[in-house]
Chain A
């Protein structure tokens, strides 16, 4: 047993070193355009893996992820905005605030924390619902947050949005947060807590009767998901350097949901695969659009592919299995997700 743990640690560290080397190589060789796409992959991994906590693991299908992203994005943007841009855009805010510029890492975390804080009361309310009703209620949350962003002029500047941010998001932040998100989500899922989550998803009545605090489990998952949603929103804001209410639209939520279901909700590695595929596929399709001058076709292909996926492989590429290269050279570890679940 001891040797297994040691070997796991070695593999883990080796993996991290390999990632750092690869990112270093990419950073040194790729041009800004490809770095941009790679950064997006990192950001989408954060978003998809965190959405998986609710939509995949506790089975609470949320359409409100972009709402938390917006909270994280706006919060961090307000905190990091350079003084020059601030004087121009935020003249109505109190003076102490106009002089306080937060470093990017702190702003990212604070964005996540604020999203989590909002998720607490929201979760207490909407998690009383399940299934479709929860989906529509969280969609409502997104629309409400967007309305606030569009109308709260002194802080969000309404439709004009916040611009002139520094392009702080780089390869290291994007993938650093991706690794942290994966690590946290993985630890949550492969713990007694995670087994409770899956029990809640598969049969909440049975779980409750076995003493699982169903509501608390769902609430914690919802809040954690919101935290990383907020972080992802902050990373995106500092990649784009200008955000407006439509930046965090229903389209964005929908994109993350597609990434999740294509990868396989209920699988952490699936989220990663889904995020990678659905970042690169639109880029390739846009290239085809460009070459054959057929604007709009990529949207149709993606929508049609999604429908086909739901019909022929609705469990996603990974289902709720995990990709385990470590099993190539050691015996298969037990995945709690393999508790036979008919859902997804």
Chain B
């Protein structure tokens, strides 16, 4: 095993982990406030990928629009989902919200199947972004680099936003204690809406990035990455943006490392490994790497 091989697997892991991180940010913000595991989050990513595919097929539209339009549309979509499906459940047991989010996930998947087609669809980004560059024997694409930088920038911006802005403070107060925040006159619904809009926007962007990286999209592509991103958020410490990013990147590296450094017979246990990691983190360090103490334990 050469140093090159190790570095190559690390780069592969970072590229995958960056997308997990983008999804995990949205999940962690929503969970932080509502205690909701939004199973539909990955499906929003899928919608983002489909919206994006409409715009890349029209060659006149620059790539920037293929990123921005899904980002905006999915942000709105996230807000609609929140207001119609989750808002009526305020104060309901958390399990009710969890089941609802599973229902929303199924609804989005199957509506996409019916409206479009169950057939997977190719997604190829014109231009050089997805062309491989070879630096000292390590291969990656420009898009991988951009994704990684984007995640870091977003992490800094969002952390600043949440710590400094009025909405950000409302979000933090709501995640400390939803009832108390409401009592002291914070517009809790506004804070929740903001969390959904921001999180879903990132899911929309992630849809574009995922589709560009892997070149194929289908109506069921989002669910597993969504659940894995939640695992990432738990590893990082739920409620923490920094934790979501670090957790996402770590999970990506661990997943690729598991496949890359163990004998090939183990490759099939890839998902099992991810969830074993989750179990270990939950039991050994339930608040994750950066989380505030919150896990409900018996």
Contacts and interface: CB of A to CB of B under 8 A. Distances in A.
- Asked if A and B bind, the verdict is yes
A299 B99 contact: no
A139 interface: yes
B297 A307 contact: no
B234 A303 contact: no
Given A136-B234, A254-B102, A314-B92, A297 B297 contact: no
Interface in A233-279: 254, 257-258, 261
Decide if the interface of chain B is mainly helix, strand, loop or mixed. helix
A303 B110 contact: yes
A126 interface: yes
A143 B271 contact: yes
B98 A61 contact: yes
Interface in A122-179: 125-133, 135-137, 139-141, 143-144, 146-148, 150-151
A258 to B, nearest CB: 8
A132 to B, nearest CB: 5
Contacts of A294: 114
A130 B279 CA distance: 13
A306 interface: yes
A306 B99 contact: yes
Contacts of B118: 296
B100 to A, nearest CB: 4
Interface in B127-155: none
Interface residues of A, number: 47
Decide if the interface of chain A is mainly helix, strand, loop or mixed. helix
B296 A131 contact: yes
B114 A300 contact: yes
Contacts of A135: 37, 95, 98
Contacts of A151: 265, 268-269
B107 A132 contact: no
Contacts of B85: 307, 311
B259 interface: no
Contact of A130 (B88, B102, B274, B297): B297
Given A300-B111, A307-B104, A143 B298 contact: no
A179 B176 CA distance: 47
Nearest to A254: B102
Interface in B51-76: none
B103 A307 contact: yes
B276 A310 contact: no
Nearest to A135: B98
Nearest to A215: B298
B113 interface: yes
Contacts of B275: 139-141, 143-144
B286 A136 contact: no
Contacts of B99: 257-258, 261, 306, 310
Given A303-B103, A310-B100, A314-B96, A139 B268 contact: no
Nearest to B219: A296
Contacts of A261: 99
A147 B89 contact: no
B3 interface: no
A299 to B, nearest CB: 4
Interface of B: 31, 35, 37, 85, 88-89, 92-100, 102-104, 106-107, 110-111, 113-114, 118, 227, 230-231, 234, 265, 268-272, 274-276, 278-279, 282-283, 286, 295-298
Given A137-B278, A306-B100, 15 more contacts: A55-B95, A128-B298, A129-B297, A133-B282, A137-B279, A143-B274, A144-B276, A146-B272, A300-B110, A303-B103, A307-B85, A307-B104, A310-B89, A314-B89, A344-B95
Interface of A: 55, 61, 125-133, 135-137, 139-141, 143-144, 146-148, 150-151, 204, 214-215, 218, 254, 257-258, 261, 294, 296-297, 299-300, 302-304, 306-307, 310-311, 314, 343-344
23 contacts: A129-B286, A129-B296, A129-B297, A129-B298, A130-B296, A132-B98, A133-B234, A135-B98, A139-B227, A140-B276, A143-B274, A147-B268, A150-B268, A151-B269, A218-B298, A299-B110, A299-B113, A306-B102, A310-B103, A311-B89, A311-B100, A314-B92, A314-B96
